[in-house]
Structure formats: structure tokens, C-alpha cells
């Protein structure tokens, strides 16, 4: 009950009521004592003064009573905070510079941590994400060029039929064509083919409608589609009656059966490993039926995700799959030395950017150290003018711990104010970054300022305040109070020791700055060199158009060629067009069709003993 009454005093109105009651009670005691003195023959003024002497200091009595009400340490902390705020208000320039520098430093650290948190630390937004793994195949003859490859569809089906280590396996393939959603106007939308069990395996339930049924993964039953929340909003205005209606994808009708929740973030680009090229923003999902593989060798085009059974380790699952791979290699005489590589899905997604993010976090950490050293230097310079103030407080009985606490509270208040500014700057920076579609970082669309980022910002703010105030606090409390008071001046010149401390801080700032400048210089130099590499062609004044032809109207390569030839004939006469051409793959845009070639007349000694090919090339039309 006593603790509860003390806690209630944290409520401002309860506190004010208790203060009024205390003041009234003390005044009543004073009046009663004065009344007794008057009855004994004393004068009114003399009786009042006698009563004041008997009761003692009213302020001291109030302090003693408040100590009984609540917690003395908390009361003292409140008074120190109020005094520190008044002190900072009397030095507006120092306060402004300190808060601004801390805000920039803490804001930079918080913004980078929000990115690191979303990509590396936060668990994938799926059911039991620690059981999800990514599976890739290794073809020994190609391992020098391709350390690992996506999965062959026939191998995937064989695993799904024979494995005992997985609750389920699912395959994903980005569609090389273009889907056009019919409506008031056509829109280009990225599409993916997925196993019918993908969403149930991930534990993702559509917000309206349903997921794919098992039979919809069979040929002839696959004319259904599921869309993302963003497409539902942008193209269909969140129409709740859309489920069951027909939409047109590349001139073919599909029944819309579900809309995924806004928390679902589809895999994109090469998040599931090299050569698994998915769309930059996949918004339509269709069932994967037979796949494109026409044999047991070649056509390694599918990203495969598996969910481990409870009690099965990653190594056990990989060992079982390698046994199945050996069976495939032996039974079908592939001679490819097949085996698999398994890794946690989260690790596969985050590994490409793990090291750069940690380096970036270390860089902003060094930047924050520079800010703290700079603030400590400013506080030391300011402390020179406050030596007499602290000497008077020490002479009045303030202990060293009390004085250190006061200085640290000042810098903590600066740290909290700088942290609030930094958090606002970080939120604005994150919003600006996530609006950029050209940045290709895994899970970049999940970056935002959440509770963990807020706690990080709070911790960094408090740590910065303590780190910045520790040296000034120790320096101030080591000054001889009597010597300072005898000096009779409000400003005491800095001692040789204080100058050495400030020089040390400046040296630390310079050293860290040099490290950061060298790192930034090396990165800038590397970027300039990469951009200045001769590409072998001129891209100035070149315009590229990405066009995909619907297979409904263009059924073979001859139909495609006739379309491209007619297009070039229409483009070339346009004023300002110097020349026009078409290609199936633009330079420097990734891999296309890769095949091994053997020039005529090449001797057996010139061939690669594993592949029996002389060289592998990438070609297009």
C-alpha cells in the first residue's frame, strides 16, 4: 500500500494536491504555535517569530516530508534535471551546436541500423522462419564457372516424392514474358509461377479469398491467380467483390482467387541466389504445373524452398538430398557429380549485403565517436567558465559524486534531445530511401523505424550523453575549490592537464576522421574506375525499349522476327532516329543463354576434360 501511494505521486494532480495539503498543514502548525504564544502574553509579531524559530526551516521540513512520501533519489534527480535545463537555456549556442551535432550523428547511426535490422536481424515474416531453407544444386563440371545453380524441375519432383526430411518443398520461377492486366488501360506486371503449396508452406494466408488448391498445380487446372495487396489497391481500388472474377493476363483469362496480405513481401531479383531472376516487384502468382524442364539434365531454372520437419537438422536434410542426387546422377547416366547446397533462407537472402552493411554500420559508429569527442571538447571548454560555480557548490557541501551526476545529467539531456532529432532525421531518411526503386537491397521494402530501432536510438543517445560528459565531469570535480574561490574571478584559466585532455580529444577526432576519409576515398576511387571502364560500345543518346510479345498471337520465332522487322522499318524513318536494331539481351544486363562450344578441328587435348567443351559463351539474337 505504501509503494502504491508513492507511485500515485508520479501523477501531477496527485502531487499538487499533496503539496497543497502539506503547505496548509505547516501553516496551521505555525498559526497554532503563534496563538499559544499570544495567550501567554507575547505580542503578535513576537509570537509569530517565536513560532517560526520553534518549527525551524519550513523548506527543510518540506524536503524531509517529501523524502518520506516518495524516493529521495528520484526527487534529487528531478531537481538536477530542472537545474540542468536552466543551465543549458543560459548557453543557447552551446546547446544548439551540441543537439545538432548529436542529432546528425545519432540520425546516421539510426538510419543505417534500421536497414541492418530489416535485412539481417529481423526474422522473415513467415511461420517458423528458422525451419525454412533454400536448396541449390551443384553440377561438378560447371562448378568453376557456377559454384551453384538453381534446381532442375525433374530433380525437384524426385525430391518431393522421396524425401523424408521436409514437411514440404516448393519451387518458384520468374516469368520471362510480360503479363498485362486488362482493364481501363494495360499495365506491365511482374509474374511468378509457384508451386501450389508455396503460400501454405510459408504460413501466408490471403486477406480475402483463398490460396491455391493442390489440384490447381496440375495441368488444365491452373487458370487461377493470386495478386498482392499493392496491385489490388493500384489497379482495382480495393474492390472486395473482385474474388471469383476473371482478369486477363497476356490475353488469357484467369480467375482471381485471392489477395495476399500487405505484410507479405514477395521474393525479388536474385534474393534466392544467383541466376534465379525474379521480377523487381512480383505482383501476380500463378500455379506451377509441369515446369519447363524436358529432361533430367540441364535447365537449372527453379528456386526451391523447403520446410524442415521438427527434429531434423540442416545437415541431415542435406545428406538425404545428396543421396537422392547420387541416385539421379547414376540412374540417368548424367555423369554430372550432382550434389546440393542447403542454407537457411534468411542467410541466403541477407548474405550478399551482410559484409557491406556491417562495414557501413562501423563507419557511422566511428562518425558517432567523432561527434562524442567533439561534444566532450566543447563541454571541457565550457567547463573552464564554470569552475567557480562548481567550487561554490563544493564549498557548500556538494560531494564529488553529486557534481559528477549533475554534469552527466546535462550531457544526458543533450543526448536525449539529440536522439529525438536524430530519430526524426532517420525516419525521414528511411522514407526517402525506400521511395527509391533503383536501390537493389534484399528486403529493402521492409525497412522502417520500429520498436527495435527506437530502442537502439535511445541506447545510443544515452551512451553518447554519458561518453561525452564523463571527461568534463571528472575534470571539473578535480579542481581545488579553495584555490578557485581565492582567485576571486568568475573565469579560471585552463590548466596544463585540461589542455592535454582537449588535445587528446582533438587528436582522436583527427585520427578517426582520417580513417573515414581514407575509406571514402578508396571507395570513390573504385567507383570512378568502374564507371570509366571501356564498355566496348557507346551508350550515349541510346534508348532501349523492353517489349514482350504475347504467345497467343506470336506462336513461333518466325512470327517474332516479322514483328521486329516491321517495327524497325517503322522506327528508322522517324526524325532524329539515326539507327534502330533489336536484340534479345542488352549488353551488361546479366546472363542469357549459356552454351559450350567446340571449334571445328579442336584436338582432344584442348578440351576441358569435365565438360568436353573448349569454351562456354553467352549468346542472343
Q: Are residues 428 and 575 in the same domain?
A: no
CB-based contact 105:368 (threshold 8 Å)? yes
Which of 322-336, 507-521, 605-619 has the least mean pLDDT?
605-619
Same domain? For 278 and 411 the reply is no
Please count the structural domains in the chain.
4
How many CB atoms are closer than 10 A to CB 589? Answer: 8
369, part of any domain: yes
Decide which of 188 and 339 is more confident: 339
Is there a contact between 174 and 266 (Cβ–Cβ < 8 Å)?
no
Could you tell me which residue, 416 or 440, shows the higher pLDDT? 416
State how far the Cα of 40 lies from the Cα of 36, in Å rounded to an integer: 6
Q: Is the same domain home to 501 and 443? A: yes
* 113 pLDDT more than 90: yes
- Asked if the structure places residue 535 within a domain, the reply is no
Pairwise pLDDT comparison (453 vs 32), residue with the higher score: 453
In a domain, 24, yes or no: yes
* Torsion angles phi and psi, residue 247, rounded to 5: -120, 160
Task: Tell which residue, 125, 137, 163, 438, has the closest CA to residue 320.
Answer: 163
Share of the chain above pLDDT 90, in %: 24
Same domain, 108 and 162: no
Query: Is 131 inside a domain boundary?
Result: no
Residue that finishes a domain, picked among 337, 365, 391: 337
Does residue 533 sit within a domain? no
Q: Do 148 and 290 share a structural domain?
A: yes
C-alpha angle 178-184-190 in degrees, rounded to nearest 5: 20
Q: Check whether residue 332 and residue 355 sit in a common domain.
A: no
d(CA 607, CA 597): 10
Q: Is 285 left (phi over 0), alpha (psi -120 to 50) or beta?
A: beta
Shared domain for 493 and 383, answered yes or no, is yes
All three cell numbers of 48: 509569530
> For residue 553, what is its C-alpha cell?
498471337
Confidence of residue 184 (pLDDT cuts 50, 70, 90): very low
In a domain, 513, yes or no: no
pLDDT digits (tens, 9 = 90+) for 483-509: 555 555 444 445 555 566 666 767 777
Task: Name the pairing type of β-strands 300-308 and 132-138.
Answer: antiparallel
Q: What phi and psi values does residue 557 have, to the nearest 5 degrees?
A: -65, -30
Task: Encode pLDDT of 368-425 as tens digits.
Answer: 888 888 888 887 777 666 666 666 666 555 556 667 777 788 888 888 999 999 999 9
The closest alpha carbon to 142, from 516, 535, 594, belongs to: 594
- Same domain membership, residue 418 and residue 333: no
Q: Is 522 within a domain?
A: no
Q: Are 274 and 352 in contact (CB under 8 A)?
A: no
- The stretches of 125-250 forming alpha helices (DSSP H) are 153-162, 198-202, 229-236
Distances (CA, A) of 429 to 109, 111, 363, 425, 446: 11, 7, 17, 6, 14
What mean pLDDT comes out for the span 355-369?
89
Residues 358 and 331 in one domain: no
Pairing of strands 339-344, 132-138: antiparallel
Question: Pairing state of beta strands 282-287 and 300-308?
Answer: unpaired
Structural domain of 605: 557-619
286 and 412 inside one domain: no
397 and 425, same domain (yes or no): yes
Pairing of strands 188-194, 166-174: antiparallel
In the predicted structure, residue 185 carries a pLDDT above the cut 60: no
Cβ atoms of 411 and 379 within 8 Å: the answer is: yes
Q: 154 with 191, same domain?
A: yes
Burial of 209 (0-12, 13-18, 19+ CB in 10 A): middle
Kindly state whether residue 85 falls inside one of the protein's structural domains.
no
Amino acid at each position: 500500500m505504501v509503494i502504491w501511494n508513492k507511485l500515485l505521486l508520479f501523477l501531477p494532480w496527485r502531487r499538487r494536491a499533496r503539496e497543497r495539503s502539506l503547505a496548509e498543514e505547516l501553516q496551521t502548525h505555525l498559526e497554532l504555535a503563534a496563538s499559544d504564544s499570544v495567550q501567554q502574553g507575547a505580542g503578535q509579531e513576537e509570537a509569530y517569530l517565536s513560532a517560526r524559530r520553534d518549527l525551524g526551516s519550513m523548506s527543510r521540513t518540506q524536503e524531509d516530508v517529501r523524502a518520506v512520501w516518495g524516493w529521495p533519489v528520484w526527487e534529487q534527480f528531478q531537481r538536477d534535471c530542472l537545474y540542468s535545463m536552466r543551465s543549458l537555456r543560459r548557453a543557447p549556442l552551446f546547446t544548439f551546436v551540441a543537439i545538432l551535432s548529436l542529432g546528425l550523428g545519432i540520425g546516421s547511426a539510426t538510419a543505417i541500423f534500421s536497414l541492418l535490422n530489416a535485412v539481417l536481424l529481423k526474422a522473415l515474416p513467415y511461420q517458423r522462419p528458422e525451419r525454412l531453407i533454400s536448396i541449390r544444386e551443384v553440377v561438378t563440371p560447371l562448378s568453376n564457372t557456377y559454384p551453384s545453380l538453381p534446381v532442375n524441375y525433374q530433380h525437384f519432383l524426385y525430391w518431393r516424392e522421396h524425401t523424408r526430411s521436409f514437411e514440404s518443398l516448393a519451387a518458384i520461377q520468374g516469368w520471362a514474358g510480360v503479363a498485362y492486366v486488362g482493364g481501363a488501360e494495360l499495365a506491365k506486371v511482374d509474374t511468378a509461377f509457384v508451386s501450389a503449396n508455396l503460400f501454405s508452406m510459408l504460413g501466408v494466408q490471403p486477406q480475402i479469398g483463398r490460396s491455391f488448391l493442390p489440384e490447381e498445380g496440375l495441368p488444365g487446372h491452373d487458370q487461377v491467380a493470386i495478386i498482392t495487396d499493392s496491385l489490388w489497391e493500384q489497379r482495382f481500388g480495393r474492390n472486395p467483390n473482385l474474388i471469383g472474377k476473371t482478369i486477363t493476363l497476356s490475353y488469357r483469362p484467369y480467375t482471381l482467387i485471392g489477395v495476399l496480405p500487405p505484410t507479405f513481401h514477395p521474393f525479388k531479383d536474385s534474393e534466392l541466389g544467383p541466376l534465379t531472376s525474379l521480377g523487381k516487384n512480383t505482383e501476380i502468382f500463378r500455379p506451377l504445373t509441369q515446369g519447363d524442364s524436358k529432361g533430367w539434365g540441364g535447365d537449372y531454372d527453379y528456386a526451391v524452398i523447403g520446410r524442415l520437419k521438427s527434429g531434423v537438422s540442416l545437415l541431415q536434410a542435406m545428406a538425404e538430398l545428396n543421396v537422392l542426387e547420387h541416385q539421379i546422377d547414376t540412374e540417368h547416366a548424367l555423369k554430372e557429380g550432382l550434389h546440393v547446397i542447403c542454407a537457411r533462407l534468411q542467410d541466403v537472402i541477407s548474405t550478399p549485403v551482410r559484409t557491406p552493411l556491417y562495414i557501413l554500420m562501423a563507419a557511422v559508429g566511428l562518425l558517432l565517436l567523432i561527434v562524442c569527442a567533439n561534444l566532450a571538447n566543447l563541454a571541457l571548454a565550457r567547463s573552464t567558465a564554470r569552475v567557480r560555480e562548481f567550487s561554490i557548490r563544493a564549498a557548500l557541501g556538494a560531494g564529488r559524486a553529486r557534481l559528477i551526476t549533475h554534469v552527466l545529467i546535462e550531457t544526458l539531456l543533450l543526448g536525449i534531445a539529440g536522439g529525438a532529432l536524430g530519430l526524426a532525421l532517420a525516419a525521414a531518411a528511411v522514407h526517402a530511401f525506400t521511395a527509391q526503386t533503383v536501390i537493389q537491397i534484399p528486403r529493402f521494402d521492409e525497412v522502417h523505424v520500429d520498436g527495435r530501432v527506437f530502442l537502439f536510438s535511445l541506447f545510443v543517445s544515452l551512451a553518447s550523453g554519458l561518453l561525452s560528459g564523463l571527461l568534463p565531469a571528472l575534470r571539473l570535480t578535480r579542481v581545488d575549490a579553495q584555490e578557485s574561490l581565492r582567485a576571486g574571478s568568475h573565469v579560471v584559466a585552463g590548466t596544463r592537464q585540461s589542455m592535454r585532455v582537449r588535445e587528446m580529444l582533438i587528436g582522436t577526432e583527427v585520427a578517426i576522421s582520417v580513417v573515414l576519409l581514407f575509406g571514402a576515398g578508396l571507395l570513390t576511387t573504385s567507383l570512378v574506375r568502374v564507371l570509366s571502364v571501356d564498355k566496348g560500345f557507346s551508350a550515349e543518346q541510346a534508348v532501349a525499349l523492353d517489349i514482350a510479345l504475347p504467345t497467343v498471337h506470336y506462336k513461333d520465332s518466325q512470327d517474332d522476327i516479322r514483328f521486329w522487322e516491321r517495327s524497325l522499318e517503322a522506327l528508322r524513318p522517324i526524325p532524329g532516329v539515326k539507327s534502330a536494331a533489336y536484340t534479345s539481351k542488352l549488353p551488361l544486363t546479366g546472363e542469357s543463354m549459356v552454351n559450350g562450344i567446340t571449334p571445328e578441328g579442336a584436338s582432344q587435348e584442348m578440351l576441358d576434360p569435365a565438360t568436353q567443351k573448349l569454351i562456354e559463351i553467352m549468346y542472343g539474337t
